[in-house]
Structure 1
Amino acid sequence: MNNYNLNSYNNQALDSHVSGVMKRVYVKMFLAMIVTALAAWACTVIPGIGMFLATHSWVYWGIAILELVLVFSLSGAINKMNSSTASLIFYLYSLLNGVTFAFIFMAYTPVSIFKTFAITAGVFGAMSIYGYFTERDLTKIGSFLTMAIIGLFIAMIVNIFWANSTLEWIVSIAGVIIFVGLTAWDTQKIKQWAESGIGATDGRLATIGALTLYLDFINLFLFLLRFFGASSRD
Protein backbone atom coordinates (compact mmCIF):
# COMPACT_ATOMS: atom_id res chain seq x y z
CA MET A 1 0.00 0.00 0.00
CA ASN A 2 1.55 3.30 -1.08
CA ASN A 3 1.67 6.37 1.17
CA TYR A 4 -1.28 8.04 -0.55
CA ASN A 5 -3.54 5.04 -0.07
CA LEU A 6 -2.33 4.59 3.50
CA ASN A 7 -3.05 8.22 4.35
CA SER A 8 -6.44 7.98 2.68
CA TYR A 9 -7.25 4.84 4.66
CA ASN A 10 -6.13 6.49 7.92
CA ASN A 11 -8.21 9.59 7.21
CA GLN A 12 -11.26 7.47 6.49
CA ALA A 13 -10.73 5.50 9.69
CA LEU A 14 -10.36 8.73 11.70
CA ASP A 15 -13.47 10.26 10.12
CA SER A 16 -15.41 7.10 10.90
CA HIS A 17 -14.21 7.13 14.51
CA VAL A 18 -15.06 10.80 15.03
CA SER A 19 -18.46 10.33 13.40
CA GLY A 20 -19.16 7.38 15.71
CA VAL A 21 -18.21 9.35 18.82
CA MET A 22 -20.33 12.34 17.79
CA LYS A 23 -23.33 10.09 17.15
CA ARG A 24 -22.99 8.70 20.68
CA VAL A 25 -22.75 12.27 22.01
CA TYR A 26 -25.99 13.33 20.33
CA VAL A 27 -27.82 10.11 21.28
CA LYS A 28 -26.88 10.51 24.93
CA MET A 29 -27.84 14.17 24.86
CA PHE A 30 -31.20 13.34 23.25
CA LEU A 31 -31.93 10.66 25.85
CA ALA A 32 -31.06 13.10 28.64
CA MET A 33 -33.47 15.64 27.13
CA ILE A 34 -36.23 13.01 27.18
CA VAL A 35 -35.47 12.18 30.82
CA THR A 36 -35.62 15.88 31.72
CA ALA A 37 -38.89 16.44 29.86
CA LEU A 38 -40.56 13.36 31.37
CA ALA A 39 -39.44 14.27 34.90
CA ALA A 40 -40.77 17.82 34.51
CA TRP A 41 -44.05 16.56 33.07
CA ALA A 42 -44.47 13.95 35.83
CA CYS A 43 -43.95 16.57 38.54
CA THR A 44 -46.75 18.69 37.08
CA VAL A 45 -49.33 15.93 36.58
CA ILE A 46 -48.80 13.83 39.70
CA PRO A 47 -50.96 15.33 42.43
CA GLY A 48 -49.07 17.00 45.25
CA ILE A 49 -45.55 17.00 43.83
CA GLY A 50 -45.74 20.42 42.22
CA MET A 51 -47.39 21.93 45.28
CA PHE A 52 -44.82 20.32 47.58
CA LEU A 53 -41.95 21.77 45.55
CA ALA A 54 -43.62 25.18 45.42
CA THR A 55 -44.18 25.30 49.20
CA HIS A 56 -40.86 23.79 50.27
CA SER A 57 -38.19 26.00 48.74
CA TRP A 58 -35.44 24.19 50.64
CA VAL A 59 -36.14 21.08 48.56
CA TYR A 60 -35.77 23.07 45.34
CA TRP A 61 -32.49 24.63 46.45
CA GLY A 62 -31.25 21.30 47.76
CA ILE A 63 -31.85 19.73 44.35
CA ALA A 64 -30.18 22.68 42.64
CA ILE A 65 -27.08 22.30 44.82
CA LEU A 66 -27.01 18.56 44.19
CA GLU A 67 -27.16 19.23 40.45
CA LEU A 68 -24.09 21.46 40.71
CA VAL A 69 -22.27 18.78 42.68
CA LEU A 70 -23.08 16.19 40.02
CA VAL A 71 -21.95 18.44 37.15
CA PHE A 72 -18.66 19.36 38.81
CA SER A 73 -18.06 15.75 39.86
CA LEU A 74 -18.67 14.48 36.35
CA SER A 75 -16.58 17.20 34.72
CA GLY A 76 -13.70 16.94 37.17
CA ALA A 77 -13.48 13.19 37.62
CA ILE A 78 -14.61 11.86 34.24
CA ASN A 79 -11.24 10.19 33.60
CA LYS A 80 -11.45 8.30 36.91
CA MET A 81 -14.92 6.88 36.23
CA ASN A 82 -15.93 3.98 34.09
CA SER A 83 -18.34 4.68 31.27
CA SER A 84 -21.40 3.25 33.07
CA THR A 85 -20.86 5.36 36.19
CA ALA A 86 -20.40 8.52 34.12
CA SER A 87 -23.60 7.80 32.18
CA LEU A 88 -25.53 7.11 35.39
CA ILE A 89 -24.45 10.43 36.91
CA PHE A 90 -25.35 12.25 33.71
CA TYR A 91 -28.85 10.79 33.55
CA LEU A 92 -29.37 11.39 37.28
CA TYR A 93 -28.46 15.02 36.71
CA SER A 94 -30.91 15.27 33.80
CA LEU A 95 -33.62 13.72 36.00
CA LEU A 96 -33.05 16.24 38.80
CA ASN A 97 -32.95 19.03 36.25
CA GLY A 98 -36.37 17.92 35.08
CA VAL A 99 -37.71 18.23 38.63
CA THR A 100 -36.57 21.84 38.84
CA PHE A 101 -37.97 22.42 35.36
CA ALA A 102 -41.42 21.54 36.65
CA PHE A 103 -41.78 25.19 37.66
CA ILE A 104 -41.36 26.17 34.01
CA PHE A 105 -44.14 23.82 32.98
CA MET A 106 -46.36 25.46 35.58
CA ALA A 107 -45.34 29.05 34.76
CA TYR A 108 -45.63 28.96 30.96
CA THR A 109 -48.22 27.66 28.54
CA PRO A 110 -47.46 24.31 26.85
CA VAL A 111 -47.74 25.94 23.41
CA SER A 112 -45.13 28.57 24.18
CA ILE A 113 -42.82 25.96 25.73
CA PHE A 114 -43.08 23.80 22.61
CA LYS A 115 -42.56 26.80 20.33
CA THR A 116 -39.47 27.87 22.27
CA PHE A 117 -38.15 24.31 22.25
CA ALA A 118 -38.56 24.14 18.47
CA ILE A 119 -36.74 27.46 18.03
CA THR A 120 -33.98 26.33 20.37
CA ALA A 121 -33.60 23.04 18.53
CA GLY A 122 -33.30 24.85 15.20
CA VAL A 123 -30.71 27.35 16.44
CA PHE A 124 -28.78 24.69 18.34
CA GLY A 125 -28.75 22.35 15.36
CA ALA A 126 -27.53 25.04 12.97
CA MET A 127 -24.72 26.17 15.28
CA SER A 128 -23.67 22.62 16.10
CA ILE A 129 -23.43 21.79 12.40
CA TYR A 130 -21.39 24.94 11.86
CA GLY A 131 -19.06 24.05 14.72
CA TYR A 132 -18.56 20.54 13.35
CA PHE A 133 -17.78 21.47 9.76
CA THR A 134 -16.12 24.89 9.98
CA GLU A 135 -12.39 25.11 9.34
CA ARG A 136 -12.17 28.24 11.47
CA ASP A 137 -10.55 27.84 14.88
CA LEU A 138 -13.17 28.92 17.42
CA THR A 139 -10.88 28.65 20.45
CA LYS A 140 -10.49 32.41 21.00
CA ILE A 141 -14.21 33.00 20.62
CA GLY A 142 -14.99 30.12 22.97
CA SER A 143 -12.53 31.36 25.58
CA PHE A 144 -14.07 34.84 25.45
CA LEU A 145 -17.60 33.45 25.77
CA THR A 146 -16.57 31.27 28.70
CA MET A 147 -15.31 34.36 30.53
CA ALA A 148 -18.49 36.21 29.52
CA ILE A 149 -20.51 33.59 31.42
CA ILE A 150 -18.94 34.88 34.64
CA GLY A 151 -20.11 38.41 33.87
CA LEU A 152 -23.53 37.09 32.91
CA PHE A 153 -23.82 35.21 36.21
CA ILE A 154 -22.82 38.30 38.20
CA ALA A 155 -25.38 40.41 36.33
CA MET A 156 -28.09 37.83 37.05
CA ILE A 157 -27.23 37.85 40.76
CA VAL A 158 -27.28 41.65 40.87
CA ASN A 159 -30.65 41.76 39.14
CA ILE A 160 -32.17 39.38 41.68
CA PHE A 161 -31.84 42.20 44.20
CA TRP A 162 -32.17 45.14 41.82
CA ALA A 163 -35.06 43.72 39.74
CA ASN A 164 -34.41 46.06 36.82
CA SER A 165 -36.38 45.13 33.69
CA THR A 166 -33.86 46.74 31.34
CA LEU A 167 -30.98 44.78 32.85
CA GLU A 168 -33.08 41.62 32.62
CA TRP A 169 -33.52 42.13 28.87
CA ILE A 170 -29.81 42.83 28.44
CA VAL A 171 -28.96 39.67 30.38
CA SER A 172 -31.40 37.64 28.29
CA ILE A 173 -30.00 38.90 24.98
CA ALA A 174 -26.43 38.33 26.18
CA GLY A 175 -27.35 34.83 27.36
CA VAL A 176 -28.74 33.88 23.95
CA ILE A 177 -25.64 35.22 22.15
CA ILE A 178 -23.25 33.50 24.56
CA PHE A 179 -24.83 30.06 24.35
CA VAL A 180 -25.35 30.25 20.60
CA GLY A 181 -21.61 30.81 20.28
CA LEU A 182 -20.73 28.19 22.87
CA THR A 183 -22.77 25.58 21.01
CA ALA A 184 -20.54 25.97 17.95
CA TRP A 185 -17.32 26.05 19.97
CA ASP A 186 -18.21 23.11 22.19
CA THR A 187 -19.13 21.02 19.15
CA GLN A 188 -15.77 21.80 17.56
CA LYS A 189 -14.01 21.07 20.86
CA ILE A 190 -15.70 17.68 21.25
CA LYS A 191 -14.81 16.83 17.65
CA GLN A 192 -11.17 17.70 18.37
CA TRP A 193 -11.23 15.53 21.50
CA ALA A 194 -12.51 12.63 19.41
CA GLU A 195 -9.83 13.23 16.77
CA SER A 196 -7.01 13.31 19.32
CA GLY A 197 -8.34 10.51 21.51
CA ILE A 198 -6.91 12.31 24.55
CA GLY A 199 -8.29 12.06 28.04
CA ALA A 200 -11.07 9.49 27.98
CA THR A 201 -12.44 6.37 26.36
CA ASP A 202 -15.09 6.83 23.69
CA GLY A 203 -17.85 6.08 26.19
CA ARG A 204 -16.70 8.65 28.72
CA LEU A 205 -15.96 11.15 25.97
CA ALA A 206 -19.49 10.71 24.66
CA THR A 207 -20.88 11.36 28.14
CA ILE A 208 -18.88 14.52 28.85
CA GLY A 209 -19.60 15.72 25.33
CA ALA A 210 -23.31 15.07 25.78
CA LEU A 211 -23.28 16.92 29.11
CA THR A 212 -21.54 19.91 27.54
CA LEU A 213 -24.01 20.23 24.67
CA TYR A 214 -26.95 19.45 26.96
CA LEU A 215 -26.00 22.42 29.15
CA ASP A 216 -25.68 24.63 26.08
CA PHE A 217 -29.12 23.59 24.86
CA ILE A 218 -30.81 23.97 28.24
CA ASN A 219 -29.37 27.42 28.88
CA LEU A 220 -30.19 28.59 25.37
CA PHE A 221 -33.75 27.31 25.84
CA LEU A 222 -34.14 29.15 29.17
CA PHE A 223 -32.94 32.46 27.78
CA LEU A 224 -35.10 32.16 24.66
CA LEU A 225 -38.08 31.32 26.86
CA ARG A 226 -37.85 34.82 28.29
CA PHE A 227 -38.66 36.14 24.82
CA PHE A 228 -41.11 33.56 23.52
CA GLY A 229 -42.67 32.16 26.68
CA ALA A 230 -46.29 33.04 27.42
CA SER A 231 -47.37 33.06 31.06
CA SER A 232 -49.96 30.44 31.98
CA ARG A 233 -51.60 33.03 34.26
CA ASP A 234 -52.54 35.36 31.40
Structure 2
Amino acid sequence: MSTIKGVKIHESQRFEQEQTKLQEEPVTEEKPLRILINEEPFTVTMRTPGLDKELVIGLLYNEDIVRSMNDLVIILSTSDQMDTAEVTLPTAALREGYMSARNFLSVSSCGVCGKTNLPEISGQLAQGTANHRVILSGLKRMRERQEIFEQTGGCHSAAVLDSLGSIIAIAEDIGRHNAVDKVIGSLLLEDHLKEAQTLLVSGRISYEIVIKCFRAKIPVLAAVSAPSSLAIDYAKELGITLFAFCRENRLTRFS
Protein backbone atom coordinates (compact mmCIF):
# COMPACT_ATOMS: atom_id res chain seq x y z
CA MET A 1 0.00 0.00 0.00
CA SER A 2 1.44 3.38 -0.99
CA THR A 3 1.34 6.09 1.64
CA ILE A 4 2.16 9.77 1.90
CA LYS A 5 4.00 11.76 4.55
CA GLY A 6 1.97 11.85 7.75
CA VAL A 7 0.51 8.37 7.26
CA LYS A 8 1.75 5.16 8.88
CA ILE A 9 0.63 1.59 8.26
CA HIS A 10 -0.52 -0.60 11.16
CA GLU A 11 -1.64 -4.22 11.14
CA SER A 12 -5.21 -4.73 12.25
CA GLN A 13 -8.06 -7.21 12.41
CA ARG A 14 -11.46 -6.42 10.95
CA PHE A 15 -14.52 -8.20 12.30
CA GLU A 16 -17.50 -8.09 9.96
CA GLN A 17 -20.50 -10.41 9.65
CA GLU A 18 -18.80 -13.11 11.69
CA GLN A 19 -15.75 -12.94 9.47
CA THR A 20 -12.25 -12.01 10.62
CA LYS A 21 -9.79 -10.42 8.24
CA LEU A 22 -6.16 -9.47 8.81
CA GLN A 23 -5.26 -6.26 7.05
CA GLU A 24 -2.95 -3.27 6.91
CA GLU A 25 -4.62 0.00 7.89
CA PRO A 26 -3.36 3.50 7.09
CA VAL A 27 -3.36 5.68 10.23
CA THR A 28 -2.64 9.38 10.69
CA GLU A 29 0.78 9.81 12.27
CA GLU A 30 1.02 11.62 15.60
CA LYS A 31 4.47 12.47 16.93
CA PRO A 32 5.80 15.00 19.46
CA LEU A 33 7.72 18.06 18.33
CA ARG A 34 9.81 19.78 20.98
CA ILE A 35 10.29 23.50 20.45
CA LEU A 36 13.28 25.29 21.98
CA ILE A 37 13.62 29.08 21.94
CA ASN A 38 17.20 30.32 22.31
CA GLU A 39 18.16 26.91 23.74
CA GLU A 40 15.42 27.09 26.40
CA PRO A 41 12.51 24.57 26.37
CA PHE A 42 9.28 26.25 25.30
CA THR A 43 6.75 23.55 24.50
CA VAL A 44 6.15 20.05 23.23
CA THR A 45 3.35 19.86 20.69
CA MET A 46 1.75 16.72 19.32
CA ARG A 47 1.39 17.00 15.57
CA THR A 48 1.42 15.17 12.26
CA PRO A 49 4.91 15.49 10.70
CA GLY A 50 5.02 17.75 7.67
CA LEU A 51 5.23 21.54 7.26
CA ASP A 52 7.01 21.64 10.62
CA LYS A 53 8.75 24.95 9.97
CA GLU A 54 5.40 26.47 9.02
CA LEU A 55 3.83 24.98 12.15
CA VAL A 56 6.48 26.50 14.42
CA ILE A 57 6.26 29.94 12.80
CA GLY A 58 2.47 29.90 12.89
CA LEU A 59 2.39 28.80 16.52
CA LEU A 60 4.87 31.47 17.65
CA TYR A 61 2.98 34.14 15.70
CA ASN A 62 -0.48 33.07 16.88
CA GLU A 63 0.62 32.84 20.51
CA ASP A 64 2.12 36.35 20.29
CA ILE A 65 5.66 35.10 20.86
CA VAL A 66 7.01 36.81 17.74
CA ARG A 67 5.58 39.25 15.19
CA SER A 68 8.46 39.46 12.73
CA MET A 69 10.27 36.77 10.77
CA ASN A 70 13.42 38.93 10.70
CA ASP A 71 16.51 37.24 12.20
CA LEU A 72 14.44 34.16 13.11
CA VAL A 73 16.26 30.87 12.46
CA ILE A 74 14.67 27.42 12.82
CA ILE A 75 16.72 24.22 12.74
CA LEU A 76 14.74 20.97 12.56
CA SER A 77 16.03 17.58 13.65
CA THR A 78 14.39 14.17 13.94
CA SER A 79 14.73 11.10 16.15
CA ASP A 80 12.71 7.94 16.68
CA GLN A 81 10.93 9.22 19.78
CA MET A 82 10.67 12.99 19.38
CA ASP A 83 11.51 15.62 16.78
CA THR A 84 13.00 19.00 17.69
CA ALA A 85 12.74 22.54 16.38
CA GLU A 86 15.48 24.86 17.64
CA VAL A 87 14.40 28.49 17.29
CA THR A 88 16.96 31.27 17.53
CA LEU A 89 16.10 34.97 17.49
CA PRO A 90 17.16 38.18 19.25
CA THR A 91 15.87 38.39 22.80
CA ALA A 92 14.50 41.86 22.06
CA ALA A 93 12.17 40.32 19.44
CA LEU A 94 10.36 38.15 22.02
CA ARG A 95 6.93 39.52 22.83
CA GLU A 96 4.56 39.42 25.80
CA GLY A 97 3.29 35.98 24.88
CA TYR A 98 6.74 34.57 25.66
CA MET A 99 7.31 36.62 28.79
CA SER A 100 4.09 35.34 30.37
CA ALA A 101 4.37 31.76 29.11
CA ARG A 102 4.85 28.60 31.10
CA ASN A 103 6.41 25.43 29.75
CA PHE A 104 3.44 23.41 28.59
CA LEU A 105 2.32 20.39 26.64
CA SER A 106 0.12 21.04 23.61
CA VAL A 107 -1.79 17.94 22.60
CA SER A 108 -3.45 17.42 19.25
CA SER A 109 -6.99 17.57 20.63
CA CYS A 110 -6.61 21.01 22.20
CA GLY A 111 -5.01 24.33 21.45
CA VAL A 112 -2.23 25.34 23.77
CA CYS A 113 -2.94 23.39 26.93
CA GLY A 114 -1.64 24.48 30.29
CA LYS A 115 -2.32 28.18 29.84
CA THR A 116 -2.85 30.05 33.06
CA ASN A 117 -5.05 32.82 31.61
CA LEU A 118 -7.21 33.61 28.65
CA PRO A 119 -5.41 35.88 26.19
CA GLU A 120 -5.84 39.60 26.74
CA ILE A 121 -6.63 40.98 23.30
CA SER A 122 -8.77 43.81 22.08
CA GLY A 123 -9.74 45.62 18.92
CA GLN A 124 -11.89 44.81 15.92
CA LEU A 125 -11.11 43.72 12.40
CA ALA A 126 -12.56 45.54 9.44
CA GLN A 127 -15.57 43.62 8.15
CA GLY A 128 -14.62 41.06 5.56
CA THR A 129 -16.42 40.04 2.39
CA ALA A 130 -18.30 36.81 3.02
CA ASN A 131 -19.77 35.21 -0.09
CA HIS A 132 -21.70 32.04 0.74
CA ARG A 133 -20.95 30.37 -2.59
CA VAL A 134 -17.23 31.13 -2.28
CA ILE A 135 -17.10 29.63 1.21
CA LEU A 136 -18.91 26.42 0.23
CA SER A 137 -16.83 26.12 -2.93
CA GLY A 138 -13.63 26.66 -0.94
CA LEU A 139 -14.57 23.96 1.57
CA LYS A 140 -15.33 21.55 -1.27
CA ARG A 141 -11.95 22.23 -2.88
CA MET A 142 -10.21 21.89 0.50
CA ARG A 143 -11.85 18.49 1.02
CA GLU A 144 -10.68 17.34 -2.41
CA ARG A 145 -7.09 18.11 -1.40
CA GLN A 146 -7.14 16.33 1.98
CA GLU A 147 -4.75 13.53 1.04
CA ILE A 148 -4.10 12.26 4.57
CA PHE A 149 -7.80 12.27 5.44
CA GLU A 150 -8.54 10.40 2.22
CA GLN A 151 -6.27 7.55 3.33
CA THR A 152 -6.96 7.52 7.07
CA GLY A 153 -10.27 9.26 7.76
CA GLY A 154 -8.62 10.78 10.82
CA CYS A 155 -7.04 14.13 9.99
CA HIS A 156 -8.10 17.77 10.11
CA SER A 157 -7.46 20.40 7.48
CA ALA A 158 -7.28 24.18 7.28
CA ALA A 159 -7.14 26.40 4.23
CA VAL A 160 -7.01 30.12 3.52
CA LEU A 161 -8.84 31.89 0.68
CA ASP A 162 -7.91 35.23 -0.83
CA SER A 163 -10.44 37.88 -1.87
CA LEU A 164 -11.07 36.05 -5.15
CA GLY A 165 -11.83 32.76 -3.40
CA SER A 166 -8.59 31.05 -4.46
CA ILE A 167 -6.88 28.72 -1.98
CA ILE A 168 -3.54 30.34 -1.12
CA ALA A 169 -2.55 27.94 1.69
CA ILE A 170 -3.70 24.50 2.82
CA ALA A 171 -2.44 22.03 5.42
CA GLU A 172 -3.47 18.85 7.21
CA ASP A 173 -2.74 17.75 10.75
CA ILE A 174 -4.22 15.47 13.38
CA GLY A 175 -4.84 18.63 15.42
CA ARG A 176 -7.21 21.38 14.28
CA HIS A 177 -5.06 24.06 15.86
CA ASN A 178 -1.90 22.70 14.26
CA ALA A 179 -3.49 22.80 10.82
CA VAL A 180 -4.37 26.47 11.37
CA ASP A 181 -0.86 27.27 12.60
CA LYS A 182 0.58 25.56 9.52
CA VAL A 183 -1.42 27.58 6.99
CA ILE A 184 -0.74 30.86 8.78
CA GLY A 185 2.94 29.98 9.09
CA SER A 186 3.04 29.13 5.39
CA LEU A 187 1.61 32.54 4.49
CA LEU A 188 4.06 34.28 6.82
CA LEU A 189 6.99 32.49 5.20
CA GLU A 190 5.82 33.56 1.74
CA ASP A 191 4.84 37.06 2.91
CA HIS A 192 1.25 36.53 1.69
CA LEU A 193 -0.64 36.84 4.97
CA LYS A 194 -2.08 40.23 3.95
CA GLU A 195 -3.90 38.48 1.10
CA ALA A 196 -5.84 36.22 3.49
CA GLN A 197 -9.59 36.84 3.48
CA THR A 198 -11.19 33.63 4.81
CA LEU A 199 -9.94 30.86 7.08
CA LEU A 200 -11.57 27.46 6.54
CA VAL A 201 -11.36 24.63 9.07
CA SER A 202 -12.60 21.06 8.76
CA GLY A 203 -13.70 20.57 12.36
CA ARG A 204 -15.35 22.57 15.12
CA ILE A 205 -14.46 26.11 16.17
CA SER A 206 -13.18 26.81 19.67
CA TYR A 207 -12.21 30.23 20.99
CA GLU A 208 -8.52 29.51 20.30
CA ILE A 209 -9.24 29.20 16.58
CA VAL A 210 -11.03 32.56 16.64
CA ILE A 211 -8.04 34.18 18.36
CA LYS A 212 -5.60 32.71 15.83
CA CYS A 213 -7.84 34.12 13.09
CA PHE A 214 -7.86 37.54 14.75
CA ARG A 215 -4.10 37.68 15.28
CA ALA A 216 -3.60 36.81 11.62
CA LYS A 217 -6.09 39.60 10.74
CA ILE A 218 -8.30 37.23 8.75
CA PRO A 219 -11.82 38.70 8.86
CA VAL A 220 -13.90 35.62 7.92
CA LEU A 221 -13.87 32.20 9.59
CA ALA A 222 -15.87 29.18 8.38
CA ALA A 223 -16.04 25.62 9.66
CA VAL A 224 -17.63 22.34 8.69
CA SER A 225 -18.68 21.63 12.26
CA ALA A 226 -20.06 23.53 15.27
CA PRO A 227 -18.75 26.57 17.16
CA SER A 228 -18.50 26.83 20.93
CA SER A 229 -20.36 29.57 22.77
CA LEU A 230 -17.07 31.26 23.72
CA ALA A 231 -15.95 31.18 20.09
CA ILE A 232 -19.11 33.05 19.10
CA ASP A 233 -18.62 35.60 21.88
CA TYR A 234 -15.01 36.26 20.84
CA ALA A 235 -15.94 36.49 17.16
CA LYS A 236 -18.59 39.14 17.93
CA GLU A 237 -16.20 41.07 20.16
CA LEU A 238 -13.33 40.99 17.65
CA GLY A 239 -15.30 41.70 14.50
CA ILE A 240 -14.87 38.29 12.86
CA THR A 241 -17.62 37.02 10.57
CA LEU A 242 -18.19 33.47 11.79
CA PHE A 243 -19.87 30.66 9.83
CA ALA A 244 -20.38 27.07 10.99
CA PHE A 245 -22.20 23.91 9.88
CA CYS A 246 -20.96 24.64 6.35
CA ARG A 247 -21.98 21.52 4.47
CA GLU A 248 -24.49 20.14 2.00
CA ASN A 249 -24.96 23.54 0.34
CA ARG A 250 -25.96 25.32 3.54
CA LEU A 251 -24.21 27.26 6.29
CA THR A 252 -25.10 29.19 9.45
CA ARG A 253 -23.76 32.63 10.38
CA PHE A 254 -23.26 33.39 14.07
CA SER A 255 -21.59 36.81 13.96
TM-score band, normalised by shorter chain:
under 0.3
Please identify the structure whose Cα radius of gyration is greater.
1
- Give the TM-score normalised by the residue count of structure 1: 0.27
Structure in which a larger fraction of residues adopt helix? 1
Q: Which has the higher contact order (CA 8 A, sep 6+)?
A: 1
Structure in which a larger fraction of residues adopt strand? 2
